[in-house]
Chain A
Amino acid sequence: EAGVVQSPRYKIIEKKQPVAFWCNPISGHNTLYWYRQNLGQGPELLIRYENEEAVDDSQLPKDRFSAERLKGVDSTLKIQPAELGDSAVYLCASSPSVYEQYFGPGTRLTVT
């Protein structure tokens, strides 16, 4: 089966610019996650969706980050405006249940 697809794989932007990441989960997986992984750290959850509903977004910096999952399939994570500290790898994962998550390859964001 096809895995979780993310694009772009790499993105370099200047600070204060907007950026968006796209994720296509594994077919049939109702739960979708966005994580941020800083250098030398493990992934940290930003937001979790159950179908179209954001059920856990308490760690999403809502002043500059937004996410959507239209029709309960693909999802987009946006940062506007980006700051230097947003440089990280942004991971998308999907799962059929809470007990096993399948991760995408990630988008490596560099903010200059």
Chain B
Amino acid sequence: AQSVSQHNHHVILSEAASLELGCNYSYGGTVNLFWYVQYPGQHLQLLLKYFSGDPLVKGIKGFEAEFIKSKFSFNLRKPSVQWSDTAEYFCAVLEGNNRLAFGKGNQVVVIP
């Protein structure tokens, strides 16, 4: 089974700062990768996904993620965060048995 690691569970930063959240997975074969976001009081929703092709993928609200196969990583970035980006962010990997394996999440708080 996949192991998905997300570090720095709690992140606090000011508006306009840059954000990068790390995600590492354990499986070395073909992977399908996702970032989900959960805003306060809302349900989990898809932020972006990578299946193949350009390893730099762009998602909603100015987020992007880069797939680096050699590092088993799929890090999420945003150049300039807003207060509305306060949320919990989850990295996930689709395993071979069509099971979605999630990391523990990053709680991000943006201070106005």
Are B46 and A100 interface neighbours, CB within 8 A? Answer: yes
In the bound assembly, the distance between CA atoms of A102 and B4 in angstroms comes to 20
Chain A: interface size category: 20 to 34
Q: Which residue from chain A places its CB closest to the CB of B92 in the assembled complex?
A: A42
Q: Which of B13-21, B64-72, B94-102 lies on the face that meets chain A?
A: B94-102
Please encode chain A, from 87 to 112, with 1 for each CB lying within 8 Å of some chain B CB and 0 for all others.
00001010000111111111000000
Are B49 and A56 interface neighbours, CB within 8 A? Answer: no
Are A104 and B43 interface neighbours, CB within 8 A? Answer: yes
List of B residues within 8 angstroms of A42 by Cβ: 4, 90, 92, 102-105
In the bound assembly, the distance between CA atoms of A39 and B102 in angstroms comes to 14
Task: State the Cβ distance, A31 to closest chain B Cβ, in Å.
Answer: 9
Are A106 and B102 interface neighbours, CB within 8 A? Answer: no
List of A residues within 8 angstroms of B4 by Cβ: 42
B44: interface (CB < 8 Å) = yes
B45: interface (CB < 8 Å) = yes
Q: Which residues of A contact B (CB under 8 A)?
A: 3-4, 40-45, 48, 56, 91, 93, 98-106
Instruction: Please list 13 pairs of residues, one from A and one from B, whose beta carbons are closer than 8 Å in the complex, sorted by A's number.
Output: A3-B43, A42-B90, A42-B92, A42-B104, A43-B100, A45-B100, A91-B44, A93-B44, A99-B51, A100-B46, A103-B44, A104-B43, A105-B43
